[in-house]
């Protein structure tokens, strides 16, 4: 036993020494892990589409020509924090994964954020919403791309209050994301002179919203704010129409709506919905080209903003890895913040010290069926919020990485 310990110790020292001697790509492979919901309520806005987006980014980065060996693995976190954190742990410990991408579901994202920080790897999140990822739970190993609850609340909330929707009732998904979205939107509503008349929390993945919708109706609030996402949003909107909520004079505010949700609902149910997103395929030629390529390989399903975020995130990550010639998570994330971003989908932007990626946000309204010229032609642009206003000011975030 003693000899074995000595040999093990010597090997450990050698390995450590080799590791710190000079920066290098671990195992000669940059391994990217796409972790998301592959089978449940968030499977459409991320799922296999995100894996495709990652692969497209690797191709477009011309990794092989630049001498980088990049591999992609994926797994289903089933919207459970314990499954997500165990997969992340196994990936980092035993399978040589260097960075994890996507991860919708804020509860899981927070767990993966924790594990990534412990192991010194990299986590580029495109799917989750909780603004805590760049706030209280910010980490030198995490970048938060695409969107967050503060941006949604400010974009959608402010716009709706300013057009007269000043009394709100919240229908909230009962987990980290729902709470964060409700909290941030309530703050915006109140700041802009509105009032919150009531709130009700529903379990994640609820099938029947009838009793919650009834309470929303009884509150007589002008706006029923849906602080939920994915299948829950689709279901609440469908059942709201069944119960005549809009007919009764109230309006629905989808606080987080994706292209895939509108597609699932159909324009006749979704028309008139106002919400904020940070990417839409039909905004410029580069986006349209990407969407065409993506759809061709994805069963004619167009990309959501999450897919775009994964693509852009992988591209920027690989840029940083290539510049550093290392896949050490903490160093790469620092490099990602150092280098300005420039990708065909989000254009030019930056990543702040707290990990927040900055880009403009867009207020969209869903077209009427008569206004749509084809599949996925669903949005019209109402206004643009410039990048420096769209996200929470860095000093308001309570992020320990930011010096006051």
Partner 1 sequence: MTEIFGISLPALSGQLLIGLINGSFYALLSLGLAVIFGLLNIINFTHGAQYMMGAFVAWFLLNKTGLGYWWALVIAPIVVGATGVVIERLMLSRLYKLDHLYGLLLTFGLALIIEGAFHHQYGSAGLPYAMPSQLTGGSNLGFMYLPNYRAWVIVASLAICLATWFLIERTKLGSYLRAATENPSLVQAFGINVPRMITLTYGFGVGLAALAGVFAAPIYQVSPQMGSSLIIVVFAVVVIGGMGSIMGSIVTGFGLGIIEGLTKYFYPEASNTVIFVIMAIVLMFRPQGLFGQR
Partner 2 sequence: MSEPQPVASTALDPAWEARYQRIGMAVMFAIFLAAPFVVYPVFLMKALCFALFACAFNLLLGFGGLLSFGHAMFLGMAGYMSAHAAKIWGFPPELAILTGMAASTVLGFFAGLLAIRRQGIYFAMITLALAQMVFFFCLQAPFTGGEDGIQAVPRGKLFGLVNLSNVHAMYFTVLGVFTIGFLLIHRVIHSPYGQVLKAIRENEARAISLGYRTERYKLLAFVLSAGIAGLAGATKAIVFQLASLSDVHWTMSGEVVLMTLLGGMGTIFGPVVGAFIIIAMQSYLAELGAWVTIVQGVIFVVCVLAFRRGIVGELEAFLRRRRGP
Least separation, in Å, of the C-beta of 39 and partner 1?
Answer: 5
43's contact among partner 1, partner 2, none, with CB below 5 to 8 A by partner kind, is: partner 1
Does residue 86 bind partner 2 (CB under 8 A)? yes
110's contact among partner 2, partner 1, none, with CB below 5 to 8 A by partner kind, is: partner 2
Does residue 20 bind partner 1 (CB under 8 A)? no
Q: Between residues 76 and 365, which has the closer beta carbon with respect to partner 1?
A: 76
Phi, psi of 28 (to 5 degrees): 65, 10
85's contact among partner 1, partner 2, none, with CB below 5 to 8 A by partner kind, is: partner 2
Query: Of the candidates 89, 238, 322, 380, which one interacts with partner 2 according to CB under 8 A?
Result: 89
Q: What is the dihedral of CA 369, 300, 256, 359, to 10 degrees?
A: -110
Does residue 38 bind partner 2 (CB under 8 A)? yes
Q: HSE-up of 312 (CA within 13 Å, CB side)?
A: 33
Least separation, in Å, of the C-beta of 368 and partner 1?
Answer: 20
Q: Between residues 106 and 217, which has the closer beta carbon with respect to partner 2?
A: 106
3-state secondary structure the chain: CHHHHHHHHHHHHHHHHHHHHCCCCHHHCEEEEEEECCCCCCCCCCHHHHHHHHHHHHHHCCCCCCCCCEEEEEEECCCCHHHHHHHHHHHHHHCCCCEEEECCCHHHHHHHHHHHHHHCCEEEECCCCCHHHHCCCCCCCEEECCCCHHHHHHHHHHHHHHCCCCEEEEEEECCHHHHHHHHHHHHHHHHCCCEEEEEEEECCCCCCCHHHHHHHHHHCCCEEEEECCHHHHHHHHHHHHHCCCCCCCCEEEECCCCHHHHHHHCHHHHCCCEEEECCCCCCCHHHHHHHHHHHHHCCCCCCCHHHHHHHHHHHHHHHHHHHHCCCCHHHHHHHHHHCCEEECCCEEEEECCCCEEECCEEEEEECCHHHCCCCCCCEEEEEEECHHHHCCCHHHCCCCCCCC
Does residue 211 bind partner 1 (CB under 8 A)? yes
Site string for partner 1, 246-285 (x = CB under 8 A): --x---------------x---------------------
Distance CA 12, CA 307 (A): 40
Does residue 238 bind partner 2 (CB under 8 A)? no
Identify whether the C-beta of residue 320 lies closer than 8 Å to the C-beta of residue 329: no
Least separation, in Å, of the C-beta of 43 and partner 1?
Answer: 5
Identify whether the C-beta of residue 52 lies closer than 8 Å to the C-beta of residue 91: no
Hey, which residues between 156 and 175 contact partner 2 (CB under 8 A)? 174-175
Does residue 90 bind partner 2 (CB under 8 A)? yes
81's contact among partner 1, partner 2, none, with CB below 5 to 8 A by partner kind, is: partner 2
Query: Of the candidates 207, 383, 384, 396, which one interacts with partner 1 according to CB under 8 A?
Result: 207
200's contact among partner 1, partner 2, none, with CB below 5 to 8 A by partner kind, is: partner 1
Query: Of the candidates 243, 298, 380, 401, which one interacts with partner 1 according to CB under 8 A?
Result: 243
Q: Between residues 115 and 366, which has the closer beta carbon with respect to partner 2?
A: 115
217's contact among partner 1, partner 2, none, with CB below 5 to 8 A by partner kind, is: partner 1
Distance CA 284, CA 109 (A): 31
Does residue 181 bind partner 2 (CB under 8 A)? no
Return the structure tokens found at 315: 């591209």
Does residue 94 bind partner 2 (CB under 8 A)? yes
Least separation, in Å, of the C-beta of 137 and partner 2?
Answer: 9
253's contact among partner 2, partner 1, none, with CB below 5 to 8 A by partner kind, is: none
Does residue 178 bind partner 1 (CB under 8 A)? no
Query: Of the candidates 114, 146, 206, 276, which one interacts with partner 2 according to CB under 8 A?
Result: 114
Q: Which residues bind partner 1 (CB under 8 A)?
A: 38-41, 43-44, 200, 205, 207-208, 210-211, 214-215, 217-218, 230-231, 235, 238-239, 242-244, 248, 264
Q: Which residues bind partner 2 (CB under 8 A)?
A: 38-39, 74-76, 80-83, 85-87, 89-90, 93-94, 106-107, 110-111, 114, 174-176, 203-204
């Amino acid at each position: 036993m003693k000899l074995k310990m000595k040999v093990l110790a010597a090997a450990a020292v050698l390995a450590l020494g080799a590791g710190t001697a000079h920066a290098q790509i671990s195992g000669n492979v940059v391994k990217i892990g796409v972790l998301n919901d592959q089978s449940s309520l968030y499977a459409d806005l991320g799922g296999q589409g995100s894996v495709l987006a990652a692969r497209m980014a690797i191709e477009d980065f011309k990794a092989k020509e630049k001498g980088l060996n990049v591999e992609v693995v994926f797994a289903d976190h089933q919207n459970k924090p314990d499954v997500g954190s165990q997969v992340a742990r196994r990936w980092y410990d035993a399978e040589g994964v260097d960075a994890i991408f996507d991860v919708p579901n804020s509860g899981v994202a927070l767990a993966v954020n924790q594990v990534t920080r412990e192991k010194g790897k990299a986590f580029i999140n495109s799917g989750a919403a909780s603004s805590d990822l760049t706030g209280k739970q910010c980490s030198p190993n995490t970048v938060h791309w695409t969107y967050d609850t503060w941006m949604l609340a400010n974009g959608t909330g402010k716009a709706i209050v300013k057009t007269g929707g000043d009394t709100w009732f919240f229908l909230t998904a009962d987990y980290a994301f729902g709470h964060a979205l409700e909290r941030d939107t309530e703050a915006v509503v109140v700041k802009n002179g509105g009032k919150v008349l009531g709130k009700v929390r529903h379990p994640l993945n609820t099938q029947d919203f009838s009793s919650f919708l009834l309470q929303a109706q009884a509150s007589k609030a002008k706006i029923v704010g849906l602080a939920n996402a994915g299948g829950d949003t689709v279901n609440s909107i469908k059942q709201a129409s069944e119960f005549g909520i809009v007919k009764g004079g109230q309006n629905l505010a989808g606080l987080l709506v994706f292209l895939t949700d509108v597609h699932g609902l159909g324009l006749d149910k979704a028309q008139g919905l106002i919400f904020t997103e940070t990417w839409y395929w039909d905004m410029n030629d580069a986006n349209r080209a990407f969407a065409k390529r993506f759809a061709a390989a994805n069963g004619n399903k167009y990309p959501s903003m999450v897919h775009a975020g994964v693509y852009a995130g992988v591209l920027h990550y690989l840029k940083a890895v290539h510049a550093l010639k290392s896949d050490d998570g903490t160093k790469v994330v620092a490099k990602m913040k150092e280098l300005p971003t420039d990708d065909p989908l989000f254009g030019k932007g930056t990543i702040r010290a707290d990990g927040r990626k900055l880009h403009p946000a867009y207020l969209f309204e869903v077209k009427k069926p008569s206004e749509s010229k084809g599949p996925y032609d669903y949005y019209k642009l109402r206004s643009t919020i410039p990048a420096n206003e769209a996200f929470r000011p860095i000093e308001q975030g309570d992020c320990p990485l930011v010096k006051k």
